[in-house]
Amino acid sequence: MTATETTVGIGGAAESTDMVLNIGPQHPSTHGVLRLKLVLDGERIRHAEPVIGYMHRGAEKLFEARDYRQIIMLANRHDWLSAFSNELGVVLAVERMLGMEVPERAVWTRTLLAELNRVLNHLMFLGSYPLELGGITPVFYAFREREVLQNVMEEVSGGRMHYMFNRVGGLKEDLPAGWSARARAAVAAVRSRMDVFDDLVLGNEIFRGRTRGVGTLAPETVHAYGVSGPIARASGVDFDLRRDEPYLAYPELQDTLKVVTRGEGDCLARFECLLEQTHNALDLADACLDRLAELSPGPINQRLPKVLKAPEGHTYAWTENPLGINGYYLVSKGEKTPYRLKLRSASYNNIQALTELLPGTLVADMVAILGSMFFVVGDIDK
């Protein structure tokens, strides 16, 4: 029997015609509303342009019409998974302008809550990233652990996502009776079950096949675009503000703090950095609880005047947020509202690297790369 070969022609013009594909702006595989404009050559991406702004609400302009108590509420919402950390940058900037010393009890409690918030943020991505690659199970485990930690965060602050617990000069109020023991139990419970992500996700050959060697981000690109956080450290850029320019109680936590890095810079390395950093954040939370137990009772905030005014001048306060560097540039004219408050968010810089990351990759790998950038769209659009 003779084999017959059939060639199907699609016309000469199609061979040199690029296809423009819009991904979004409806949630394709992101935490928020993003649009990607891709130019394809067959199944390979030739050009990628993130189109942002669909969630922009003008927070920086709104800061100018609110006093220093009210802007905390606006600031904690741009990265809705890192609300406590977002508040922190604002109060640190105002305190620096005022030359204000915060009680030691408030410093250690802030550090504790910031690390618990880091775990909550990372757990969301540890669960949702496998989901974007077709693995449904991990997200259920992630939400179970988030619920345990959210319970203690809600008990102390009254909020599940937007805590509104920071105040200029300290924290809103002292910790409830018995809360430290419940927080310690929650941290221990989450730590005891974290191996689920090692076994279920990292041990899965399909997950490794979809992520290893995919979406490699070069250190030069990290520096050029101002990429920070776990994504930068996965490319070997060893920088963490908690160690390199420590704030809060981090100068005394250097023995516990571990800056997790990888050299590969691919999707798998980014996930591994996030997972290992979660383990370390739980250790830091325990260290903070130990120190709080040793501290003698005392105030958790400073008494403030009825109308709080920052002196004339300017300052920049940056923190190592869960997703990367978060900075506030505060300019004051001596009034009760900021003259200008500029927000430098982690996701805004991180997402720009997609213009370098996506070209040359397959459309099938686009979601794997996009998900591994661990961004919140509110944090891009502000």
Residue 249, in any domain of the structure: yes
Count of structural domains within the chain? 1
pLDDT at 147: 95
Euclidean distance between CA atoms 25 and 51, whole angstroms: 9
Residue 14, in any domain of the structure: no
Euclidean distance between CA atoms 64 and 271, whole angstroms: 38
Which residues, including other chains, have CB under 8 Å from residue 261's CB and lie 6 or more apart? 233, 234, 236, 237, 238, 273
What the block records as the tokens of 241 is 């503000």
Pairing between strand 166-167 and 170-171? antiparallel
Q: In what order do the strands lie in the sheet with 340-344?
A: 313-321, 324-332, 340-344
State the Cα angle at 44 between 38 and 47, rounded to 5°: 35
Nearest to 346 by CA among 32, 114, 85, 119: 85
Euclidean distance between CA atoms 377 and 367, whole angstroms: 15
Euclidean distance between CA atoms 237 and 294, whole angstroms: 36
pLDDT at 15: 52
Residue 355, in any domain of the structure: yes
Nearest to 85 by CA among 142, 159, 163, 156: 163
Q: Which residues pair with 20 in a beta bridge?
A: 39
Residue 25, in any domain of the structure: no
Which residues, including other chains, have CB under 8 Å from residue 183's CB and lie 6 or more apart? 112, 116, 152, 156, 285, 289
pLDDT at 2: 52
Q: pLDDT tens for residues 149-206? A: 999 999 999 888 899 999 999 999 999 999 999 999 999 999 999 998 988 898 889 9
Which residues, including other chains, have CB under 8 Å from residue 268's CB and lie 6 or more apart? 208, 211, 212, 213, 214
Euclidean distance between CA atoms 172 and 94, whole angstroms: 16
Dihedral (CA of 208, 214, 216, 217) sign: negative
Residue 99, in any domain of the structure: yes
pTM: 0.91
Q: Determine the number of helices (DSSP H) and then strands (DSSP E) in the chain.
A: 16, 8
Euclidean distance between CA atoms 255 and 284, whole angstroms: 10
Enclosing domain of residue 332: 59-380
What the block records as the tokens of 66 is 């609110």
Residue 7, in any domain of the structure: no
Nearest to 351 by CA among 335, 337, 369, 368: 369
φ/ψ of residue 7, rounded to 5: -110, 125
Euclidean distance between CA atoms 177 and 159, whole angstroms: 18
pLDDT at 30: 53
Report, as ranges of residue numbers, the positions in the chain whose pLDDT lies below 50. 5-14, 28-29
Residue 43, in any domain of the structure: no
pLDDT at 13: 46
pLDDT at 12: 45
Pairing between strand 324-332 and 166-167? unpaired
Nearest to 246 by CA among 315, 319, 314: 319
Please give the C-alpha separations between residue 97 and each of 25, 92, 93, 246, 330, in angstroms, as whole numbers: 40, 9, 6, 18, 9
pLDDT at 11: 45
Nearest to 326 by CA among 315, 338, 318: 318
Dihedral (CA of 229, 232, 234, 236) sign: negative
Residue 33, in any domain of the structure: no
Q: For the domain that residue 137 is a member of, what is the CATH number?
A: 1.10.645.10
pLDDT at 126: 93
Q: Which SS3 state, helix, strand or coil, does residue 31 take?
A: strand
